Every structure is written in structure tokens, then in C-alpha cells.
């Protein structure tokens, strides 16, 4: 019984946000995640690596130890440990600590680069941040509702980019930087999304005319996903409830309405 009480207390602090200590833990964790990610970022800069490499490495082990304790506490206190471990955030929590331990097992010179790669996966630790934001629910619902429309839209954009990229590839040729269709497709996407690096750009007049079409299409097409999400969010705003009036059957009430807006009957 005492053990169960201890588990409940730990779960309340680690997973919950209702209690004072639960919120304090979340804020502390947030700052630790941000600090550890900053440490990984700084370590990748050559000049900082030379000057502060030892301190950063030491800091990394401290953070890894703390996150390991946290991961074990999560596993120990949760109702269904397996379900947590195989959930999205379970994997993220594990991947956030694993690379540092793996760097001990593979001390070879050649594998160093691979280890660095694995360590950088710890950046996924940032994903934890999402957990602390309640507002995201409404957004995600609107995005989920418009998922099918956005998939169709992205498919159409990709098809268009492929066809127009191929046409520009035929018109420009490899002497103007369009060495293959995949490269022309890369250019078409760079142009259509209005990024426009300028590392590949059409040089001939017909190529520039085609590029103009790609640009105007990309510029105008952005209206479509924006319109989809706008309509979805406006809809979510106007109709957050499916409640009908029991007296007159009128729907479309505000979510905070206590009485029917048409007949005045109690809802």
C-alpha cells in the first residue's frame, strides 16, 4: 500500500500538471531539455569544441544521467509500462538518452562519426516540448480534418513540379545546370515554394518563360492550403458543439450557451 502511494505520488509529479509540484517538475524539465539541446548545438561548433569540449562532454553526461533517472521513474510509476515504452513519447524519451551510452560501446576511431550522428538524435528531446502545450489540440484537430485535402493538394503540386521541371530540363539542357530530371525537379520545388536559392536558374528565354509559370503557380497555389485550414478553423470556431435544443430542435449554438438562442428553452 505504501509502495502504491509512493508510485501514485511520483506519477502525479512526473505525468500530472494538476498539482503544484507537478507543474514545477514540468517547468524544470523544460529548462533542462532546452539547456541540453543548446549544449549539443554548441559542441558542434569547432571553435567551442576546442575550448570547452571537456566541460560540454561532462554536462552531457550529467543531463544523460538525469534523463535516465527520469525515464526509469516514468517506467516504474506508470500504470502500463509496456504501453508507455512503445508509445511515441516513450520512444522519444529513450532515444534522448541512448546515443550517449552507445558512444561508450563503440570507441573505435572510424565509428566516431557514427556516434556523433547517434548523439545528435538527442535533438529529438525537443519533441518533448509539445507535451506541455495544451493549445495544440484545437490546431491538431483542424489539421487532421483537413489532412485529406492537404494530401491531395501536395500530390497535385508535386505532379505539377515534376511535369514543369521536366519541360525546363528539356528546354535548358545540362549546360545550364539542369543536369538530370531529379535536379530539374529539385529546381522546380525550390522555385514553386518561392524559396529561390538561385544556385540553379534558367538561362534561356524559353526556360525563363516556363520558370515564370512555375513561380506564378507556386505563388497562387499557396492560397489553397491556407484556404483549407482557414475554413476548417473558422468552422471549428463557429460550431464547437453539436448540441440541439430539446424544445425546438435548433442547433448551431455557442459552446457556452445555457439556453436555446431561438426559443429560449433550457438546453
Q: Is 18 in the site for its own copies (CB under 8 A)?
A: no
Of 6, 1, 2, the C-alpha closest to 73 is: 6
Window 217 to 246, contacts with its own copies (CB under 8 A): 218-220, 222-238
Q: Is 148 in the site for its own copies (CB under 8 A)?
A: yes
- Choice between 68 and 179, CB closer to its own copies: 179
What's the distance, CA 61 to chain centroid? 26
Minimum distance from residue 54 beta carbon to its own copies (Å): 18
CA distances from 92 to 64, 74, 79, 95, 97 (A): 14, 13, 19, 5, 9
Does residue 87 come out as left (phi exceeding 0), alpha (psi in the -120 to 50 range) or beta?
A: beta
Window 35 to 54, contacts with its own copies (CB under 8 A): 37, 40-42, 44-46
Stretch that binds its own copies, among 53-61, 87-95, 100-108, 149-157 (CB under 8 A): 149-157
Among 22, 162, 177, 244, binds its own copies (CB under 8 A): 162
Among 117, 141, 144, 246, binds its own copies (CB under 8 A): 117
Minimum distance from residue 30 beta carbon to its own copies (Å): 11
181 vs 93: CA distance, rounded Å:
41
Query: What are residue 257's phi and psi, to 5 degrees?
Result: -80, 135
Are residues 102 and 74 in contact, defined by beta-carbon separation less than 8 angstroms? no
Binding mask 57-96 for its own copies (x = CB under 8 A): ----------------------------------------
Amino acid at each position: 500500500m505504501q509502495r502504491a502511494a509512493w508510485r501514485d505520488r511520483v506519477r502525479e509529479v512526473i505525468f500530472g500538471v494538476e498539482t503544484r509540484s507537478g507543474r514545477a517538475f514540468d517547468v524544470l524539465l523544460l529548462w533542462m531539455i532546452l539547456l541540453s539541446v543548446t549544449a549539443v548545438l554548441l559542441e558542434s561548433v569547432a571553435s567551442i569544441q576546442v575550448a570547452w569540449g571537456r566541460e560540454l562532454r561532462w554536462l552531457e553526461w550529467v543531463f544523460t544521467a538525469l534523463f535516465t533517472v527520469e525515464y526509469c521513474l516514468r517506467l516504474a510509476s506508470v500504470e502500463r509500462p509496456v504501453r508507455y515504452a512503445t508509445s511515441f513519447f516513450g520512444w522519444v524519451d529513450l532515444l534522448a538518452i541512448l546515443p550517449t551510452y552507445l558512444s561508450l560501446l563503440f570507441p573505435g576511431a572510424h565509428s566516431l562519426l557514427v556516434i556523433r550522428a547517434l548523439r545528435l538524435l538527442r535533438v529529438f528531446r525537443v519533441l518533448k516540448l509539445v507535451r506541455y502545450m495544451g493549445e495544440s489540440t484545437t490546431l491538431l484537430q483542424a489539421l487532421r480534418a483537413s489532412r485529406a485535402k492537404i494530401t491531395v493538394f501536395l500530390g497535385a503540386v508535386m505532379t505539377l513540379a515534376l511535369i514543369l521541371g521536366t519541360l525546363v530540363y528539356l528546354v535548358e539542357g545540362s549546360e545550364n545546370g539542369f543536369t538530370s530530371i531529379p535536379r530539374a525537379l529539385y529546381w522546380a520545388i525550390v522555385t514553386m515554394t518561392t524559396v529561390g536559392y538561385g544556385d540553379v536558374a534558367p538561362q534561356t528565354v524559353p526556360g525563363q518563360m516556363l520558370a515564370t509559370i512555375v513561380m506564378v503557380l507556386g505563388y497562387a497555389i499557396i492560397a489553397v492550403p491556407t484556404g483549407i485550414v482557414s475554413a476548417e478553423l473558422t468552422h471549428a470556431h463557429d460550431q464547437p458543439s453539436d448540441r440541439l435544443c430539446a424544445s425546438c430542435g435548433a442547433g448551431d449554438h455557442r459552446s457556452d450557451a445555457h439556453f436555446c438562442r431561438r426559443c429560449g428553452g433550457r438546453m
